[in-house]
Copies of this chain bind each other. A is one copy, B any other.
Amino acid sequence: MPPLPPLRSAEVIAVGSEMLGSTRVDTNSLYAAERLSDLGIELRAKAVVGDDRGDLASIFHASLRRADLVILTGGLGPTDDDLTREVVAEALGLTMHQDETIVRALEQRFARRGLQMPASNLRQAQVPAGARVLANPRGTAPGLFIEHDGKLIALLPGPPREMRPLLDELCDGPIGARAGTERIYRASLFVAGRGESHVEEVVQPIYSRWRDQPDPIVTTILAAPGQIELHLSTRDANPEAGRRRIEAARDALASALGEDLFSTDGRSMEQVVGAMLADRGYWIAAAESCTGGLFTSRLTDVPGSSAYVYGALVAYDNRVKARDLQVPQELLDRHGAVSEPVALAMLEGVFRATRVQVAVAITGIAGPGGGSAEKPVGTVVIAVGVPSAPPDVRTHRFMGDRSMIKFWSSQAAMDRVRRMLQ
């Protein structure tokens, strides 16, 4: 039998009526676009369809006609309206059987929590003939992978944290094996403390030269919460050449961006700051007011952060600022809780109460109420202290709603720690 032609095109179908409302966005297809693009496979179309047998069957049929690879996400749960397994099996003319390995894995999963498996979960053990079962350690719905008439079909669970590792497994395995020789090479650069147009001005003269060269490099600028991201990509059949080209491009942008650049390896701000603290053997503690604990919560999102996060005082009420941080009542009365003298006094309070090397104090107005002409909503004062430098205090004005202002505040505080430790 001749080898099958390489996969060129893919489509993604997200299944679930809840995905058709006005609030939910399908992020699985974004992840799939990137992983497939790495393998030189083009995502040509994507769809979202409700829990309707006829609609799903019609859309799946059409996708399968057009594309070499069809990925369906969602609709693998235990309930009546989870139809993906059945509709795909019927469309491909495959019979279903109960997979005893899945049954046992489900029973064990429930048993570990001291629960009896409900009978409805047996639906999740139904497998179309010839399908490969993909164990899903993060959820009850296993994935399924089917090769049919030279085409590939993947059925993956809907929650992104369950879907992603299963797609990775397929891309490293049978999907990757059927991809062509060209691969996409990527780099990303994350910038903090600058707006999108400033970053664009700095990098545009550099990346515009790359567009028309024989092996072009595609540059995308994206304003993400708290950071500007530059995404570079280029394709090559030669891994050495592809990697060299993308690294040279990344380095050229990095030197233009200087210390505004905080990450060239996809690491988040909390990961970068955490690594700096760990490297130096420093402990960090915070006094948080308007962020309500978000700064420290983000720091502790990083595995291993217990080696450098001492703790925090969420001084939401002014009584906490006065009592536990010993901020003089006179400062609170004279300057208000959102002021540079109070932020500095909070910082001193952290150093007084702990023996950490790095301290952060954040006080501000997250809104929607509490603003004034002089101190509008979004006014946030951040004080940072590190060894062998005077304390730094700055007043920021952030835009957006309450949760955006909290996020920007935590990001700016981490970025200040990063710059002061650098």
Q: How far is the CB of A114 from chain B (nearest CB, A)?
A: 8
Are A45 and B48 in contact, CB atoms less than 8 angstroms apart? yes
Are B78 and A196 in contact, CB atoms less than 8 angstroms apart? yes
Interface residues in A139-164 by Cβ distance below 8 A to B read 140, 159, 161
Are A23 and B231 in contact, CB atoms less than 8 angstroms apart? yes
Q: How far is the CA of A24 from the CA of B320 in the complex (A)?
A: 40
Candidates B47, B140, B197, B296; contact of A314 at CB < 8 Å? B296
When distances are taken between beta carbons in the complex, the residues of chain B under 8 Å from A161 are 400-401, 404
Judge whether A250 is part of the interface by a CB distance below 8 angstroms.
no
Are B51 and A45 in contact, CB atoms less than 8 angstroms apart? no
Are A118 and B400 in contact, CB atoms less than 8 angstroms apart? no
Are A403 and B159 in contact, CB atoms less than 8 angstroms apart? no
Are B223 and A77 in contact, CB atoms less than 8 angstroms apart? yes
Q: How far is the CB of A168 from chain B (nearest CB, A)?
A: 14
Instruction: Report if A402-B20 is in contact (Cβ < 8 Å); known contacts: A200-B79, A311-B315.
Output: no
Are A220 and B81 in contact, CB atoms less than 8 angstroms apart? yes
Candidates B196, B200, B301, B370; contact of A403 at CB < 8 Å? B301
Are A369 and B304 in contact, CB atoms less than 8 angstroms apart? yes
Q: How far is the CB of A300 from chain B (nearest CB, A)?
A: 3
Q: How far is the CA of A193 from the CA of B297 in the complex (A)?
A: 23
Please, how many residues of chain A have a CB less than 8 angstroms from a CB on the other chain?
Answer: 107
Q: How far is the CA of A58 from the CA of B80 in the complex (A)?
A: 30
The residue in chain B whose Cβ has the minimal distance to the Cβ of A304 is B369
Judge whether A135 is part of the interface by a CB distance below 8 angstroms.
no
When distances are taken between beta carbons in the complex, the residues of chain B under 8 Å from A310 are 316-317, 319-320
Instruction: Report if A313-B316 is in contact (Cβ < 8 Å); known contacts: A45-B48, A159-B223.
Output: no
Are B200 and A118 in contact, CB atoms less than 8 angstroms apart? yes
Interface residues in A270-320 by Cβ distance below 8 A to B read 283, 286, 288, 290-297, 299-301, 303-306, 309-317, 319-320
Judge whether A55 is part of the interface by a CB distance below 8 angstroms.
yes
Interface residues in A98-134 by Cβ distance below 8 A to B read 112-113, 115, 117-118, 120-121
Which of the candidate stretches A30-38, A384-392, A411-419 sits at the interface with the other chain? A30-38
Are B300 and A297 in contact, CB atoms less than 8 angstroms apart? no
Give the most central of A117, A222, A288, A370: most B CB within 10 Å. A222
Q: How far is the CA of A46 from the CA of B292 in the complex (A)?
A: 38
Instruction: Report if A22-B37 is in contact (Cβ < 8 Å); known contacts: A81-B221, A204-B80, A293-B296.
Output: yes
When distances are taken between beta carbons in the complex, the residues of chain B under 8 Å from A220 are 16-18, 21, 23, 51, 81
When distances are taken between beta carbons in the complex, the residues of chain B under 8 Å from A71 are none
Instruction: Report if A369-B303 is in contact (Cβ < 8 Å); known contacts: A197-B120, A313-B314.
Output: yes
When distances are taken between beta carbons in the complex, the residues of chain B under 8 Å from A315 are 311
Are A311 and B303 in contact, CB atoms less than 8 angstroms apart? no
Interface residues in A392-410 by Cβ distance below 8 A to B read 397, 399-404, 406
When distances are taken between beta carbons in the complex, the residues of chain B under 8 Å from A120 are 197, 200-201, 204
Q: How far is the CA of A110 from the CA of B372 in the complex (A)?
A: 20
When distances are taken between beta carbons in the complex, the residues of chain B under 8 Å from A34 are 22
Are A79 and B196 in contact, CB atoms less than 8 angstroms apart? yes
Q: Can you sample 5 A-B contacts with CB below 8 Å? A: A47-B47, A79-B196, A138-B400, A301-B406, A303-B402
